[in-house]
């Protein structure tokens, strides 16, 4: 689904990431770890084409990312649900409207019952009419997850979704992602939290990737 | 995008937050520019009418002035009239009597001028037919038959007047073009401000899969409709102001003047109605270009 072939990414002052080879298979569950500033977010942004590699080749859904038209990029992002580190909501719209936003911009009808069922799945039924600034950190992360999955995407990418929530909420979010993976979705989750990875390994077959010294490596069995 | 979607669809509008002062700026700019455009249009039409009238009226009349010793004036006048009545293109020629000459001089010398005691030249008024006459040929014939006759076909002072009126008309058209350009520039600035203020919203929309056309539509629709509304207000006020100007009173002093002639006549009153749709089109194009430029900067 997503295939990196000797990919590098540089900001101008040298490469932040280099020599990346990876193939994300459909239905897989990957964790991405690494120290702060190692390039995890940059790597994830390449996965939904917010950044382009400076070298190598990156194919997403069998398309070279450099060859995609702007409308093609929009179509790609409808097939990849992303939970951003800072959630990125439209503060003038309600939680329900924010969650339904991918459907709205795609010109698809929003089924009210389905939407409420999704909000119920992430435990936000009561907050449907609230505005994003009224939500707690955990609620924002769950709303972001609901928005990421509303289009029933093939891939779900989450960038530190448990970064600002307590352990109970982290486990709850992880449970939601594991459920999605069991439904056949490909999951790629960036986190610092090794305990979360250990808990996940008890529930689902995962592969752990680590960015170290600008390179992507398979993490050891000690996890 | 269908036209009905453009006016009725509100999805895209809803996802972009209200844009505060830029909305008011667009409305005010469009209203002011439309108001000015109505006057520029009226100026253009008024000068056009003036140029046509001067051109038409003066082009069909000419004067022969007989300056000769008193004992020869009568004979030379008759000779000149004889030449004129046999000249192709002259519909009518007649010598003005003393009272008519007095009336011509009255604005400068008053009503008590003793014209019969002054060595006044004799004037002959010529009215051309539709084909007109050959001025140079007529001059040569008059010189031969009446040496004191001087033909004045008014071209010396008619041409600069008509040229001036034509230039005023051009000025009106240039003013309209400048108003359209200034409107476009102001709306572009307002659109840029709105796009910059909503940079994070636009980025989020791109990240959840919105196409550029969807995002641009929200801004384009908003600005085009505001420009349309503002221009309608400005056009209405401009037309009301024109209607309240003193009307032309033909036949009185100043009846043919530029100031009293400023306005619309007949079907010309429909022309200002095109200003509002044109303002909307200018806003549509300006905002679309601004939105496309901004969106191209995003991945």
Confirm whether B61 is domain-assigned: no
Mean pLDDT to the nearest integer, A179-208? 92
Residue in A closest to B12 by C-alpha: A105
The answer to the question of residue B153 being in a domain is no
**Domains with residue ranges and CATH for chain A:** 2-218 (3.40.50.300)
Select from A50, A77, A93 the Cβ nearest to the Cβ of B209. Answer: A77
Query: Using an 8 Å Cβ cutoff, are B225 and B22 in contact?
Result: no
Residues B270 and B138 in one domain: no
Helices (H), A54-94: 70-79
Shared domain for B182 and B233, answered yes or no, is: yes
What is the predicted pLDDT for the residue at B9?
A: 53
Q: Point out the least confidently predicted range of A44-58, A73-87, B49-63, B144-158.
A: B49-63
CB B286 within 8 A of CB B224: no
Residue of B nearest to A76 (CA): B209
How confident is the model at residue B260, as a pLDDT?
A: 61
Interface of chain A toward chain B, CB-CB under 8 angstroms: 48-52, 70-71, 73-75, 77-78, 82, 84, 88-93, 97, 101-102, 104-107, 147, 151
State whether B170 and B274 are in the same domain. yes
Contact A122, A145 (CB under 8 A): yes
B231 and B174 within one domain:
yes
Rounded to the nearest angstrom, the minimum Cα separation between A189 and chain B is: 17
Domain coverage including residue B216: 3-56+158-296
Same domain, B8 and B51: yes
| Residue of B280 and B101 predicted with greater confidence | B280
CA angle A165/A154/A58 to nearest 5° reads: 95
A127 pLDDT exceeds 90?
A: yes
Residues from chain B that touch A92, judged by Cβ atoms under 8 A, are: 17-18
> Whole-number mean pLDDT of chain B?
83
Residue A222 reports pLDDT greater than 70: no
DSSP state of B39: H
Rounded to whole angstroms, how far apart are CA atoms B213 and B225?
17
Cross-chain residue pair A105–B203, CB shorter than 8 Å: no
User: Would you state the structure tokens that stand for residue B108, as one six-digit string?
Assistant: 């400068």
Question: What is the signed CA dihedral for A48, A51, A55, A60, rounded to 10 degrees?
Answer: 10
Contact call for B207 and A82, based on CB within 8 A = yes
Of the candidates B125, B147, B169, which is a domain's last residue? B147
Q: Which of B122, B147, B172 is the last residue of a domain?
A: B147
Smallest Cβ–Cβ distance between A77 and the set B14, B207, B295 belongs to B207
Partners of residue A15 on adjacent β-strands: A10
Residue pLDDT, tens place only, B125-149: 888 887 888 888 888 988 888 888 8
Q: What ipTM did this prediction achieve?
A: 0.88
Rounded to whole angstroms, how far apart are CA atoms A54 and A9?
5
Q: Which of A95-99, B38-42, B195-199 is most confident?
A: A95-99
Q: Which two tokens stand for residue B161?
A: 């007047």
Q: Using the beta-carbon criterion (under 8 Å), do A77 and B203 form an inter-chain contact?
A: no
Number of residues written out for chain B = 299
Of B14, B204, B210, Cβ closest to residue A74:
B210
Q: For A216, phi and psi rounded to 5 degrees?
A: -95, 125
Of residues A52, A71, A104, nearest to B15 (C-beta): A104
Q: Per DSSP, which regions of A34-75 are E strands?
A: 55-60, 63-64
| A105 closest CB neighbour out of B209, B295, B299 | B209
Same domain, B37 and B109: no
B194 pLDDT higher than 90: no
Residues B108 and B215 in one domain: no
Same-domain pairing of B51 and B167: yes
Last residue of a domain, one of B92, B125, B147: B147
Q: Please give the residue of chain A at the shortest CA–CA distance from B298.
A: A50
Stretch B107-134: mean pLDDT: 81
Q: Residue B253 — very low, low, confident or very high, per pLDDT cuts 50/70/90?
A: very low
Taking only the tens place, the pLDDT of each residue in A67-115 is: 999 999 999 999 999 998 887 899 999 999 999 999 999 988 888 899 9
For residues B100 and B34, state if they share a domain: no
pLDDT band for position B11 (50/70/90)? low
Q: Is the domain of B125 the same as that of B200?
A: no
Compare B83 and A220 and report the one with higher pLDDT: B83
**Is residue B44 a part of any domain in this protein?**
yes
Tell me the pLDDT tens digit for each residue of B211-225. Answer: 999 998 888 888 889
Residue of A nearest to B202 (CA): A90
Q: Structure tokens of A158?
A: 């989450």
For chain B, how many structural domains are there in total?
Answer: 2
Residues of chain A contacting B210 with CB distance shorter than 8 Å: 74, 105
Around Cβ A128, how many Cβ atoms within 10 Å?
17
CA angle B2, B4, B6 (to 5 degrees): 75
pLDDT value, residue B255: 46
Chain B residue numbers touching A78 (CB-CB < 8 A): 209
Q: Name which of A49, A74, A104 is nearest B211 (Cβ-Cβ).
A: A74
Q: CB distance B17–A90 less than 8 Å?
A: yes
> Are B233 and B287 members of one domain?
yes
Contact (CB<8Å) A101/B208: yes
């Amino acid at each position: 689904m997503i295939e990196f072939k000797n990919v590098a990414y540089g900001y101008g002052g040298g490469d932040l990431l280099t020599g990346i080879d990876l193939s994300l298979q459909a239905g897989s569950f990957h964790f991405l770890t690494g120290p702060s500033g190692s390039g995890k977010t940059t790597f994830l942004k390449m996965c939904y084409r917010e950044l382009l590699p400076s070298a190598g080749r990156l194919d997403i859904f069998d398309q070279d990312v450099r060859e995609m038209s702007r409308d093609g990029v929009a179509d790609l992002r409808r097939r990849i649900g992303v939970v951003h580190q800072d959630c990125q909501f439209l503060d003038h719209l309600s939680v329900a409207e924010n969650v339904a936003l991918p459907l709205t911009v795609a010109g698809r009808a929003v089924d009210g019952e389905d939407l409420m069922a999704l909000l119920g799945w992430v435990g936000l039924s009561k907050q449907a009419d609230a505005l994003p600034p009224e939500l707690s950190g955990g609620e924002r992360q769950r709303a972001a997850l609901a928005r990421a999955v509303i289009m029933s995407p093939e891939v779900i990418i989450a960038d530190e979704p448990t970064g600002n929530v307590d352990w109970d909420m982290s486990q709850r979010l992880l449970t939601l992602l594991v459920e999605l993976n069991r439904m056949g979705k490909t999951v790629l989750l960036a986190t610092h939290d090794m305990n979360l990875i250990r808990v996940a390994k008890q529930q689902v077959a995962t592969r752990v990737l680590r960015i170290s010294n600008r390179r992507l490596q398979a993490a050891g069995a000690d996890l | 995008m269908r036209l009905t979607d453009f006016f009725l669809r509100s999805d895209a509008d809803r996802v972009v937050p209200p844009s505060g002062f830029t909305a008011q700026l667009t409305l005010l700019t469009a209203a002011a520019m439309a108001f000015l455009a109505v006057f520029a249009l009226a100026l253009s039409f008024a000068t056009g009418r003036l140029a046509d009238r001067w051109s038409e009226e003066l082009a069909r009349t000419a004067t022969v002035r007989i300056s000769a010793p008193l004992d020869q004036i009568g004979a030379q006048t008759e000779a000149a009239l004889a030449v004129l009545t046999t000249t192709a293109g002259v519909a009518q020629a007649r010598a003005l009597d003393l009272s008519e000459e007095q009336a011509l001089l009255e604005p400068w010398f008053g009503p008590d001028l003793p014209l019969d005691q002054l060595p006044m030249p004799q004037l002959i008024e010529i009215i051309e037919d539709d084909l007109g006459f050959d001025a140079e040929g007529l001059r040569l014939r008059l010189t031969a038959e009446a040496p004191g006759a001087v033909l004045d076909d008014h071209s010396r002072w008619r041409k600069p007047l008509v040229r001036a009126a034509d230039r005023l008309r051009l000025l009106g058209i240039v003013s309209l073009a400048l108003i359209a350009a200034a409107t476009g520039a102001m709306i572009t600035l307002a659109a840029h401000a709105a796009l910059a203020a909503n940079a994070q919203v636009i980025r989020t929309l791109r990240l959840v899969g919105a196409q550029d056309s969807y995002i641009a539509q929200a801004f384009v629709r908003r600005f085009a409709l505001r420009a349309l509304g503002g221009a309608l207000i400005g056009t209405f006020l401009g037309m009301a102001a024109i209607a309240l100007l003193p009307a032309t009173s033909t036949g009185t002093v100043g009846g043919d003047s530029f100031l009293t002639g400023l306005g619309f006549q007949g079907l010309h009153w429909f022309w200002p109605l095109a200003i509002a749709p044109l303002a909307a089109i200018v806003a549509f194009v300006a905002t679309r270009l601004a939105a496309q430029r901004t969106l191209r900067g995003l991945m």
